[in-house]
A and B are shown apart, each in its own frame.
Chain A
Amino acid sequence: MTTPPVLLEHVTRRFGPVTALDDVSLTVQDGEIVGLLGPNGAGKTTLLSLLTGLRRPDAGTVQLYGSDPRNPAARSRLGTTPQDTGLPATLRVREVVDLVAGHYPDPMATSELLDRFGLADLSHRQTGGLSGGQRRRLAVALALVGRPRLVLLDEPTTGLDVEARVGLWQSLRAYHQDGATVVVTSHYLEEIEALADRVVVVGQGRVLADDTLARVISKVGARRMSFTLPTGQDAGALPGVAAVAERTAGGGGGERWTVLAADADQAVRALVGSGLAFRDLEVRGASLEEAFLALTGDGAASTTTQAGARS
């Protein structure tokens, strides 16, 4: 048995009254490429800050390859990106790479790395003079310079144009194919689709879904259907309905249902065919944000009828 690169067991982290992570457990095995998907404020960054040793959990265990990430030696197989806006403005590109490389026992040659990320021509430029895209590329390059076995990337391509984004994704996939474990956070479904095999959806500090890419996409790529049913009728078991997002007492003596359907056509046909006395039907695409909310409400709404009380 090898110790997993990433292990979180029942981890809780609070900031004052806010619970950023609520009893989260997550294991990433060697060689996996995992996407952490969630809206802003979901707890992704907090999770990464625990893994990089910047913060301590209030409860639970966090381990990198079996040891506490707050121990510097545990981080010798870890590579992460700085925020691109935070590079030391007066240092040259090559110097920043040398500074980071100097922390690792067997780093990549600086020139090789700069070539790989298309930064060779900029190696003598001070980082303060780089464009946003160039800084982003440098930030990702810094994550790889120490030949880490585990790479944690926080929103690696935010703010990049399409071409640059695709280029970075290729570099990351190539690095993963060399045997590295990669964890990437994003609030873009597209980015996660391009990179990850396994997707962990985080929201409100909890793991809402942990599944293969295809299955998570079918969940979050859902349609949202709303309709009113007389009290007592149940639409939860209709074919095509993936989850009940909301069920509230509506005006006029009925209940307003909001359900997520992977295949809205099928679900509408089933609703019509079921003979349920529905009215005021609305169907629209669920945004990623709504899909997250639906996932959050998923468990709760199917067990309580007071789900409308959820904020």
Chain B
Amino acid sequence: MTTTTTTASLRPFWALTWLHTKFGFLETIRVPIAVIGNLLFPGLALLFFVVPNAQVAGSPVAATAAVAQLGAFAVMSSSLFGFGIGVAEDRALPFDAYLRTLPAAAGPRLVGRLINGLAWSYLSLVPVVVIGALATKASLTWAQAGGLVLLVAVVAVPFTLLGLAYGYSLSAKAAIAVVQVTVFPLAFAGGMFLPPQMFPHWLDLVSLGTPSRAARDLVVQVTTGLDPGAWAMPVMVGWTVLFAVLAAVAYRRDQGRRFH
């Protein structure tokens, strides 16, 4: 053969990202049970604990806050479950190694995963919002709804990073256990199930330091206008930075041990 030195070229970043987004979504949706649990739990909690409580369900502010804190829980749990367990499971698959031999950098696959994570976060809000709107006095203005759409992405970031840290450092089985042990205590301590007004003083102090409480307070502020307190934003940023460092460390450490 003569010198057919065609310069080796990669397909554009967006095309590869779309490819991985699409097939990542297909793979997840083909095993609906994996996501249905996540999608339904916050809605069911709303239906069983908030709707029958006339005092909360009948007050526009209390109902909106209750819906908002369960919405924050939905985003947190779908980020942690989706990335923590999803990444750990993928790492164990030989197909993951195979994809790394194809002509594409790691970026498109990671971005595809983030887009999928965000999409599932939004989907996980649908049951909560529908039940909240139909069965309680919770209400939102259009501006509040718009703020909420943006805030979902902000809330998803730290928990996505924590999920990545788990996924890159744990086996799939360990990740399932660790994510569960993380999600439920965080949700309770963060006032996502019971409003923090019902907490004893000491628990309220602990709660103010958790990322779940910060996320919950920010979401409640956007939806009801209630003051989140001075701590919510710095606490949120602090945890986000910490989780970003953990995720980066886990990813780097994983490089050498990923195969066999």
Contacts and interface: CB of A to CB of B under 8 A. Distances in A.
Contact of A49 (B95, B102, B259): B259
Contacts of B3: 2
Interface of B: 1, 3, 5, 8-11, 15-16, 19, 23, 26-27, 30-31, 93-95, 97-98, 100-105, 259
Contacts of A80: 98, 101
B101 A74 contact: no
B11 A90 contact: no
Contact of B103 (A87, A91, A104, A126): A104
Interface of A: 2-3, 30-31, 49, 52-55, 65, 67, 72-78, 80-83, 85-88, 90-91, 95, 99-100, 102-105, 126, 146, 179
B1 A126 contact: no
A78 B101 contact: yes
A99 B19 contact: yes
B30 A90 contact: yes
A103 B95 contact: no
Nearest to A90: B30
B9 A76 contact: yes
A95 B26 contact: yes
B82 to A, nearest CB: 16
B66 to A, nearest CB: 36
Given A90-B27, A91-B26, A73 B101 contact: no
A77 B95 contact: no
B19 A103 contact: yes
Given A55-B259, A95-B26, A73 B9 contact: yes
A100 B102 contact: yes
A75 B103 contact: yes
A88 B28 CA distance: 11
By Cβ-Cβ distance, the 3 closest A-B pairs, closest first, are A86-B94, A82-B98, A90-B30
Contacts of B19: 99, 102-103
Contacts of B9: 73, 76, 105
B8 to A, nearest CB: 4
Given A82-B94, A88-B95, A104-B11, 6 more contacts: A2-B3, A76-B103, A78-B101, A88-B23, A88-B93, A90-B31
B93 to A, nearest CB: 5
Q: Chain B at the A interface: mostly helix, strand, loop or mixed? A: loop
Nearest to A65: B8
A51 B1 CA distance: 22
Contacts of B5: 2-3
A179 to B, nearest CB: 6
B259 A91 contact: no
B17 to A, nearest CB: 11
Nearest to B15: A102
Q: Which among B1, B10, B31, B95 has the greatest number of chain A C-beta atoms within 10 A? A: B95
A82 B103 contact: no
B94 A76 contact: no
Contacts of B23: 88, 91, 95, 99
B98 A83 contact: yes
A77 B7 CA distance: 10
A77 B101 CA distance: 11
Given A54-B101, A103-B16, A105-B9, A179 B94 contact: no
6 contacts: A31-B1, A73-B9, A76-B103, A82-B94, A86-B97, A102-B19
Contacts of B26: 90-91, 95
Contact of B102 (A75, A95, A126): A75
Contacts of A77: 8
A78 B30 CA distance: 30
A102 B104 CA distance: 10
Contact of B100 (A54, A81, A102, A126): A54
A150 to B, nearest CB: 11
A102 B11 contact: yes
B94 A85 contact: yes
B10 A82 contact: no
Nearest to B108: A103
A54 B9 CA distance: 19
Given A91-B23, A99-B19, A103-B19, A83 B102 contact: no
